Amino acid sequence: MKDFEKLLRDNNLKVTKGRIAILELLYSSKIPMNTEEIFNYVDKDELPSFTSLYRILNQLSEAGILEKNLYQNGLLYYELKGKKHRHYIICSKCGKISPIEHCPISEFVEEASIETGYVVEDHVVELIGICPNCQKS
């Protein structure tokens, strides 16, 4: 289940309406959301200002609760960490994001680590294409 209050306290973050609302939204979302989407979807009563939204998202990312990724469209996307590892494909016309189940990257990451001598911390795979809807028009 989702004990977001404990999660916040464990990370020395106070429990506030805004933080809970953001965590619940991202918990219920199947795909990463960008800042504007989160802002629009959070209940207006519990809605922090845009400023606070950015601050909260950064805190939660630094705490390792969220995963923060910059997509090729120039926007920051957030998702709850710890969910099943996934990659996404984004439509270059309408911006629709769909998850992709397979991740063939793990072995690749290991090879790359040996090849380059880097300690790999993270990886980003982004596919760009045209979604079924946009193909029609």
- What's the Cα-to-Cα distance from 14 to each of 18, 27, 38, 101, rounded to whole Å? 11, 19, 20, 35
Stretch that binds its own copies, among 3-11, 36-44, 46-54, 102-110 (CB under 8 A): 102-110
Q: Which among its own copies, DNA, none contacts residue 29 (Cβ within 5 to 8 A by kind)?
A: none
Q: Which among DNA, its own copies, none contacts residue 137 (Cβ within 5 to 8 A by kind)?
A: none
- What's the Cα-to-Cα distance from 6 to each of 9, 11, 54, 88, rounded to whole Å? 5, 9, 22, 30
Cα–Cα dist 50/70, whole Å: 18
66 is a site residue for its own copies (CB under 8 A): no
- Residue carrying the six token digits 């800042």: 35
Q: Closest approach of Cβ 1 to DNA, in Å?
A: 19
107 is a site residue for its own copies (CB under 8 A): yes
Angle at the Cα of 21 from the Cα atoms of 101 and 72, rounded to 5 degrees: 45
100 is a site residue for its own copies (CB under 8 A): yes
Contacts to its own copies by CB under 8 A? 69-72, 74, 87, 89, 91-92, 98, 100-102, 104-105, 107-109, 111-113, 115-132, 135
